[in-house]
Structure 1
Amino acid sequence: MSYVNPSSLVSTEWLSKHASGPDVRIVDASWYMPATKRDPRAEYDEEHIPGAVFFDINDISDTDNSLPHMVPSPEKFSSRMRKLGLGDGNRIVIYDGSGLLSAARAWWMLRLFGHHDVAILDGGLPKWKAEGRPVDDVPVMPAERHFTSRINNFMLREKDQISRNLTTGREQVLDARSPGRFDGTEAEPREGLRSGHIPSSFNLPYNKMFNSTDGTLLPADRLKTLFTETGLDLKQPVITSCGSGISACILAFGLHLLGHNRVSVYDGSWTEWASDETTPVDTRNSHAD
């Protein structure tokens, strides 16, 4: 089988051929967990794919919210995109320095705010560099471009909706964290958070979705098998979750490639859920054999 939405994933070869196209815009959306001590902006300034602008996930967020990198207002998102030269009529290609992690968050945000001509670079910057393709440190000064925000609230879930779903069961919840964090045997990287998962969740660690050789995404048939082996019903709506709303977007991207069009992301994810002492937490995998 093939991806249902193959245009959402582009190869390094494709980008190499089309990078200079008049309507193609390249975006570096690198972000790393604080514990890694990596500075994505500094790394971007040191080297990036020529012409790429930097999408700062921590800045392009609701910075008044105590939770990390929550979705900003449509006005702020439009303003930031305009200044990056990203807007209506652009074919936007996103990559990150991990291969595929935060690029999926930027992809999801652009679609959330109504821009659908957006793709992710398969294998990201690591694959691009491994193939000897060019990088530079030249500052990019984009011309501003109008961005029309049309937020699609069907793609976004908040804590009260997750709470109601515990009773209704209308949507399946798929968690991208590691098995240890999911079942409560491994401590959360954010200090003070309870371990475990939202009751009745399914678990698919996002890093299982990649080829071990080059970090590219698995082909469609293997990707579909991964999702179905969790117990997920691909004909029913899915909410993806993770630690703070980043890797949940990788699951959402994988489901999108397979043609699933009823997928939303729990923006606050485990950081929000586990911080509230009134929310129920499970450490048993109710879907295990």
Structure 2
Amino acid sequence: MGADKGPDPPTTLIDPALLKEHMDARRANMIILDCSYDLNRNVEKDYLTGHIPGALYFSIKECRDKSSPYPQMLPPAPVFAQFVGALGIDNNTYIVVYDNNPRGLFGAARVYWMFRAFGHDKISILNGGYVGWKAKHYPTTMQRDYLTPRVFHATMRAGYLTTFEDVVQTIKGVTSLPAQLVDVRPPTLYQCGHLPKSKNMPYYSLLNDPLPTLKDEDGLRKAFAAASIDLDQPIVSYCNSGVAASMLFLAGILLGKTPEEITVYDGSWWEWDRRAKGHHGYIEYSL
């Protein structure tokens, strides 16, 4: 879980000090994205009141499948390519994503998962996010930057995405290698309704306190063990809309799992609750 020492290949996490080194050295072809996501705040307004110098705003609410009835579904590859290309990103860009949320890194984790799913591996997450950056008393700005659009080619990789139909097969036990279903929502939401056979592992169990940094390898393994999740078996992560679920994907990658071994159920509870109604045994409760 070390930091990125050079341009290729980047590691999953980068700490604030190394990011500042890259910025001071004007590292070529590096773009920083503020990927903040919070349903209770206007995160774009927060971005305009302060962000890492040079960081561009990435709207998760805009970069989605707008034809879907579910809120944050992964957009089709051409839509994603057009969205990120308009930001000035191409396939040679090294991207650093961060989140301005003291409760977690799930916005950054979601965008990290999206880029990986569409074939782009030159990406790191700022460990600790904007909170960690400010804790170091590094500079911030209110200036909004724009870059010249570039061409980005996106191809959806197999194995990153789990669908409603995939989950049904898992619950029925008709797959050749059944996956463990993991609900990363807080226990109160899990108890009020969850996917059958799923285990609860709240996303915040992956984080240190008070800074929202990812736990080290030993801490992550203990968190999985405490939730009775076997890291040697496939995992499907879900939450309310597929955003926080990406944090479990991130943790799995840090522990050496392949993307195919720890996928994200994109529709998550938002889709499942609506499509599972009327099907006996498709929803469990733990009251």
TM-score by length of 1: 0.89
SS in 2 for 1:239: strand
Per-residue deviation, residues 90-127 of structure 1 (Å, max 9, x unmatched): 11100011151211110000001010111110110011
CA contact (8 A) 1:4 1:259 kept: no
Shift of the alpha carbon at 1:201? 0.7
**Aligned with residue 21 of structure 1, among 16, 27, 32:** 27
The reply to whether residue 121 of structure 1 matches residue 99 of structure 2 is no
Shift of the alpha carbon at 1:3? 7.0
SS in 2 for 1:154: coil
Distance in 2 of aligned mates of 1:145 and 1:155: 25
CA contact (8 A) 1:172 1:236 kept: yes
SS in 2 for 1:7: coil
SS in 2 for 1:81: helix
Per-residue deviation, residues 15-59 of structure 1 (Å, max 9, x unmatched): 1111231121100011102xx2x1111111222111111111011
Would the alpha carbon gap of residues 128 and 66 (structure 1) be closer, same or farther in structure 2, given more than 3 Å must change? same
Distance in 1 of aligned mates of 2:69 and 2:265: 16
The reply to whether residue 80 of structure 1 matches residue 88 of structure 2 is no
What is the root-mean-square deviation in Å for CA atoms of aligned residues? Answer: 1.8
Question: Which residue matches 1:243?
Answer: 240
Shift of the alpha carbon at 1:4? 12
Distance in 2 of aligned mates of 1:4 and 1:213: 21
Shift of the alpha carbon at 1:167? 1.5
The reply to whether residue 39 of structure 1 matches residue 42 of structure 2 is yes
Question: Which residue matches 2:213?
Answer: 216
Distance in 1 of aligned mates of 2:209 and 2:157: 34
SS in 2 for 1:264: strand
Alignment of 1:79-228 (within 5 A): 79-99=82-102, 100-168=105-173, 170-184=178-192, 196-228=193-225
Question: Which residue matches 2:15?
Answer: 11
- Which structure 1 residue ranges, 5 or more long, are not aligned? 185-195
**Runs of 4+ residues deviating >6 angstroms:** 3-6
What is the identity, as a one-letter code, of the residue corresponding to 1:32? D
What is the identity, as a one-letter code, of the residue corresponding to 1:92? I
What is the identity, as a one-letter code, of the residue corresponding to 1:202? K
Per-residue deviation, residues 227-253 of structure 1 (Å, max 9, x unmatched): 122121111111100011010001110
User: How many pairs are equivalent?
Assistant: 270
CA contact (8 A) 2:3 2:18 kept: no
Would the alpha carbon gap of residues 11 and 43 (structure 1) be closer, same or farther in structure 2, given more than 3 Å must change? same
Distance in 2 of aligned mates of 1:46 and 1:222: 34
Would the alpha carbon gap of residues 4 and 28 (structure 1) be closer, same or farther in structure 2, given more than 3 Å must change? closer
Distance in 2 of aligned mates of 1:179 and 1:4: 33
Question: Which residue matches 1:278?
Answer: 278
Between 145-154 and 11-20, report the one with greater CA deviation: 145-154
